[in-house]
Amino acid sequence: MIDLSNIHVTFGKGTPLQKEALKGVNLTIEEGSFVTVIGSNGAGKSTLLGVLAGDVLANEGKVMIGKTDVTRKSTSARAGLVARVFQDPLAGSCGSLSIEENLALAARRGERRGLRSALGPRRRELFRERVAELNLGLENRMKDRMDLLSGGQRQAVSLVMATLAGSEVLLLDEHTAALDPGMAEFIMKLTQRVVSERKLTTLMVTHSMRQALDFGHRTIMLHGGEIILDVSGDSRKDLQVEDLIAMFRKMRGETLDDDALLIG
Amino acid sequence: MLSQIAFWGAVELGLVFAFVAIGVFLAFRVLDFPDLTVDGSFPLGAAVAAVLITVGINPWLAAFAAMLAGAAAGTVTAFLNVRFRILNLLASILTMIALFSVNLRVMGKPNVALINADTMLSPFFGLGLREVYVRPLFVGVLVVIAVIAVWRFLESDAGLAMRATGANPRMSRAQGIDTSWQVYLGLALSNALVALGGALFAQTNGFADVTSGVGTIVVGLAAVIIGETLFGARGILLALIGCVVGSILYRIAIQLALSTDALGLKASDLNLVTAVLVAVALVLPRLRRGASS
């Protein structure tokens, strides 16, 4: 479960470049729910994800993940609760380490790391099985360096990494944006399967409105640091991509008007 | 050609500096932290060991104390970098400069002689083997132990966390790794090994000198790079063995260059020869890659 109450984030406070990225966001996501997040550039999507992951600390408000108050916790201190797949396929894994070493790293996310060998025979076998489930043939390349893999392959492995250790939430940060359409579709199917099999509480930020409506149980739209749309259930089923685009246009129009007022 | 004595002398010095090479490998390659602290922690290790031995402390304990001193030096660099966000290179230069004064304080004078003092090697002399062989053999055994220990560490969960910190700090944090702590740990470990090298240097050569640290970093890097040129990037164990082999080959190359009359080089040309060797070792892999593509 995720519970954000009255989250305010301001960057560059007290400087001429001060920007309010989030203005009092309230958001509760039930356990096992899959929520998609859309919004234009600068709407606050990345900041929202950052607040949950720990990369951004809120100036005001409270962040609960599961039963833990993580408001002031650093990224590494809350890693046991948060699994994550980044937009950039290079960002979510270590290119200079092998596939199995990356998996070994992820298998101990949020846990103490001792002096036991990271790749004992039992773990090796487990990793092999999990990678084999991807049907990408990567199980025969476990000792290959991660940076020899294509972007899509790396994202697929990243998804496996995200589910090796337990977590309260799964954060997906436009994780198909850097992929070609075929691979993006494969990764989305995989995501769907992983999320439903493991009943993960998931927050997926996406640029694709099609994705936002096709996947998950609930869609929220951010604009100017506020949640301006929050749909689920039947009203979400009726919603078309065209409706969302119309809303985007309307918002952009508003900002243009604002600018025009300022200039005039 | 080299005389037997000169050859084994070079091997011994190469083995002593293998500790430096492994330390440099940990900082530069594993943590991606260009750490020049080693120019100060090498003579620090020599100074601490030499001073403690002259006052009658067990030489093994003295070497251990030297390692602790080295670890402390590395911690200072890590502190400057992590806590105050001073650029890594600059943070290490500050510690290095400071250590020059610290080393003079430790010894109370620019150098300490260990003539007639019992060292870690003393018990092994007089067992029938000539001293020329005993010294490299003794240091070699310690090097093998260090290589195995560092190898097992880097392939453990804890070591993997350190390698990840150097490779992708953002991802490491997302995996729950405290990257600041890893920098402390890595630099402490690295400089402890370098200081152990210094302690062994003092005991095999019979003295500690405050200027003996100049260029340590270049020698360590030379060994790492020669090792990489020979073995390529094929796993941690080979990389560590590469450090050792690279360190020995470097010393033999230097010894050859200096003892070949035809080149007309003097001992004082050492630093120039070192720089040329490192430059060549850096350029060779590039040329090879250029030829293959």
| CATH assignment at residue B274 | 1.10.3470
Please tell me the distance in Å from A73's CA to the nearest CA on chain B. Answer: 11
The string of DSSP letters for A100-146 reads: HHHHHHHHTTTS---SSBTT-HHHHHHHHHHHHTTTSSGGG-TTSBG
Q: Rounded to an integer, what distance in angstroms lies between the CA atom of residue A155 and that of residue B150?
A: 32
Q: Rounded to an integer, what distance in angstroms lies between the CA atom of residue B226 and that of residue B248?
A: 10
Q: Does A224 touch chain B (CB under 8 A)?
A: no
In which element (H, E) is residue A171 found?
strand A169-173
Q: Which of A90, A94, A148, A157 to mutate to test the interface with B (most CBs of B within 10 A)?
A: A94
For residue B250, CA distances in Å to A128, A175, B117, B161, B262 come to 42, 47, 30, 31, 20
**Is A260's pLDDT higher than 60?**
no
Query: In this structure, how many other beta carbons lie within 10 angstroms of the beta carbon of residue B12?
Result: 25
Amino acid at A88: D
Q: Rounded to an integer, what distance in angstroms lies between the CA atom of residue B164 and that of residue B179?
A: 9
Nearest residue, CB atoms, B174 vs list A53, A111, A115: A53
Using a CB-CB distance cutoff of 8 angstroms, which residues of chain B are in contact with residue A122?
A: none
Report A:88-127 residues touching B (Cβ under 8 A): 91-97, 101, 104-106, 108-111, 113-119
Q: Which of B155, B157, B182, B234 to mutate to test the interface with A (most CBs of A within 10 A)?
A: B157
Average of pLDDT values for A18-32?
A: 93
Helices B38-54, B216-231: crossing angle, 10 deg rounding: 110
**Is A262's pLDDT higher than 50?**
no
Average of pLDDT values for B88-111?
A: 96
**Is B233's pLDDT higher than 50?**
yes
**Is B92's pLDDT higher than 90?**
yes
- DSSP label at residue A62: E
Q: Which residues, in sequence order, are CB contacts of B87 under 8 Å at separation 6+?
A: B81
Query: Shortest CA distance to B39 belongs to which of B107, B95, B106?
Result: B95
Nearest residue, CB atoms, B167 vs list A79, A97, A108: A97
Return the percentage of chain A with pLDDT > 70, whole number. Answer: 95
At residue A264, the pLDDT reads 34
What confidence tier does A27 reach under pLDDT thresholds 50, 70, 90? very high
At residue B259, the pLDDT reads 81
Using a CB-CB distance cutoff of 8 angstroms, which residues of chain A are in contact with residue B167?
A: 94-97
Q: pLDDT digits over A116-136, tens only?
A: 999 999 999 999 999 999 999
Q: Which residue of A has its CA nearest to B157?
A: A118
What confidence tier does B129 reach under pLDDT thresholds 50, 70, 90? confident
More confident residue, B123 or A63: A63
**Is B51's pLDDT higher than 60?**
yes
Q: Does A168 touch chain B (CB under 8 A)?
A: no
Dihedral sign from CA coordinates of A105, A107, A109, A113: negative
CB contact under 8 A, A79 and B175: yes
- The pair of structure tokens assigned to B274 is 């070192």
Please tell me the distance in Å from B88's CA to the nearest CA on chain A. Answer: 21
- Classify residue A160 as left (phi > 0), alpha (psi -120 to 50) or beta: alpha
Nearest residue, CB atoms, A79 vs list B167, B168, B176: B176
**Is B178's pLDDT higher than 80?**
yes
Please tell me the distance in Å from A141's CA to the nearest CA on chain B. Answer: 15
Q: Rounded to an integer, what distance in angstroms lies between the CA atom of residue B13 and that of residue B21?
A: 12
Amino acid at A235: S
**Is B286's pLDDT higher than 80?**
no
Chain-centre distance of CA B85, in angstroms?
26
Domain count, chain B: 1
Using a CB-CB distance cutoff of 8 angstroms, which residues of chain A are in contact with residue B176?
A: 76-77, 79-80, 108-111
Domain housing B127: 4-291
Nearest residue, CB atoms, A109 vs list B158, B176, B178: B176
What confidence tier does A263 reach under pLDDT thresholds 50, 70, 90? very low
Residue appearing with tokens 């490299």: B136
Q: Which residues, in sequence order, are CB contacts of A158 under 8 Å at separation 6+?
A: A85, A86, A89, A92, A93, A175
More confident residue, A132 or B130: A132
Query: In this structure, how many other beta carbons lie within 10 angstroms of the beta carbon of residue A115?
Result: 12
Q: Rounded to an integer, what distance in angstroms lies between the CA atom of residue B171 and that of residue A85?
A: 10
For residue A64, CA distances in Å to A2, B223, B285 come to 6, 51, 52
CB contact under 8 A, B157 and A114: yes
Q: Which residues, in sequence order, are CB contacts of B239 under 8 Å at separation 6+?
A: B25, B29, B227, B228, B231, B233
Q: Rounded to an integer, what distance in angstroms lies between the CA atom of residue A248 and that of residue A257?
A: 14
How crowded is the C-beta side of B269, counted as CA atoms within 13 Å? 14
Q: Rounded to an integer, what distance in angstroms lies between the CA atom of residue B85 and that of residue A208?
A: 39
Residue appearing with tokens 């190898």: B151
CB contact under 8 A, A76 and B163: no
Query: Shortest CA distance to A242 belongs to which of A213, A206, A207?
Result: A213
**Is A261's pLDDT higher than 50?**
no
Burial B33-66 (b: 16+ CB within 10 A, else e): bebbbbbbbbbbbbbbbbbbbbeeeebeebbbbb
Average of pLDDT values for B30-41?
A: 96
Q: Which of A93, A113, A124 to mutate to test the interface with B (most CBs of B within 10 A)?
A: A113
pTM: 0.91
Q: Rounded to an integer, what distance in angstroms lies between the CA atom of residue A63 and that of residue A2?
A: 8
CB contact under 8 A, B167 and A96: yes
At residue B289, the pLDDT reads 67
- DSSP label at residue B27: I
Q: pLDDT digits over A92-102, tens only?
A: 999 999 999 99
**Is B290's pLDDT higher than 70?**
no
Q: Rounded to an integer, what distance in angstroms lies between the CA atom of residue A162 and that of residue A194?
A: 10
Average of pLDDT values for B112-138?
A: 89
Task: In chain A, count H helices and then E strands.
Answer: 8, 10
